[in-house]
């Protein structure tokens, strides 16, 4: 039982590509990837079925590509390929920790990873493997936040753990507004109405309809994912 008052046996961790950059401006920071992979591996060792949806913004963001003149659908496809690159890096880093992992891609590329299916993901989770979900939803115009909510619903997950660069949800950007108020808990409806930039509306709608809580926490410290699962770390719980 975690401090949120409920046992979580299966979770989806939403990890942005930018979280893998460390202090760099792009690409992968090996030490950061290894730290996050160790945390994911430890969560699985503790008996929590752990899936991770990874973004690709450290290599390419579809929206940014569209702003530079690339057709949006094509730009999003490039961004989805970037998530597979990150997924392969995380898979390797988890396996270096002595824990089995599998990348499942919504875009079929069977020479480098398995195609995503619900049955395959559940099989690997049941075997105690960390499942790295890449390729977004496999469709343009959907963010990886929406992909995380979709996979959490498909896989009957108990929670979505939204890893960010801040320790929860604030009323304003705490880096710009020293008076920004941090929320301990709030509802998904409140988050939408107050236009709090946590996840996009489609992701919130999926989580709300399927009664899946979202934990927003900082990924910057060692052990952050396990602390978020246990409810012992500093975070905001966003409830349906």
User: Taking the model in full, what pTM does it have?
Assistant: 0.93
The phi-psi region of residue 91 (left if phi > 0; otherwise alpha if psi is between -120 and 50; otherwise beta) is alpha
Alpha carbon 182 to its chain centroid, in Å, reads 21
pLDDT tens digits along 48-85: 999 999 999 999 988 888 888 899 999 999 999 999 99
Map out the domains of the chain as residue ranges.
Answer: 10-239
pLDDT tens digits along 12-23: 999 999 999 988
pLDDT at 2 over 80: no
Place of tokens 């808990």: 185
17-33 average pLDDT score: 91
> Cα–Cα distance between 191 and 208 in angstroms, integer?
11
- In which order are the strands placed within the sheet that holds 185-187? 114-115, 101-105, 130-134, 49-54, 10-15, 159-164, 214-218, 235-239, 185-187
pLDDT tens digits along 97-119: 999 999 999 999 999 999 999 99
80 DSSP 8-state letter: H
Percent over 70 (pLDDT), the chain: 98
Q: What is the CATH number of domain 10-239?
A: 3.40.1160.10
What average pLDDT does the chain have? 92
212-229 average pLDDT score: 94
130-159 average pLDDT score: 96
* Other CB atoms within 10 A of residue 212 CB: 23
pLDDT at 1 over 50: no
């Amino acid at each position: 039982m975690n401090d949120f008052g409920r046992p979580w046996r299966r979770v989806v961790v939403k990890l942005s590509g930018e979280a893998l950059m460390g202090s760099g401006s792009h690409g992968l920071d090996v030490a950061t990837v290894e730290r996050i992979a160790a945390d994911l591996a430890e969560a699985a060792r503790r008996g929590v079925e752990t899936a991770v949806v990874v973004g690709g913004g450290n290599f390419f963001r579809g929206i940014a590509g569209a702003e530079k003149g690339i057709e949006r659908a094509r730009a999003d496809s490039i961004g989805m390929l970037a998530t597979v690159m990150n997924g392969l890096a995380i898979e390797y880093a988890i396996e270096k920790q002595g824990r089995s992992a599998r990348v499942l891609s919504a875009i079929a590329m069977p020479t480098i990873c398995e195609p995503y299916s619900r049955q395959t993901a559940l099989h690997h989770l049941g075997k105690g493997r960390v499942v790295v979900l890449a390729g977004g939803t496999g469709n343009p115009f959907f963010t990886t936040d929406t992909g995380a909510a979709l996979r959490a619903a498909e896989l009957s997950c108990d929670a979505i753990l939204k890893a960010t660069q801040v320790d929860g949800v604030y009323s304003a950007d705490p880096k710009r507004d020293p008076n920004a108020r941090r929320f301990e808990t709030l509802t998904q409806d409140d988050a939408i109405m107050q236009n709090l930039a946590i996840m996009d509306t489609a992701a919130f709608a999926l989580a709300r309809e399927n009664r899946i809580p979202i934990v927003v926490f900082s990924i910057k410290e060692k052990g952050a994912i396990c602390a978020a699962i246990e409810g012992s770390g500093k975070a905001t719980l966003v409830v349906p």
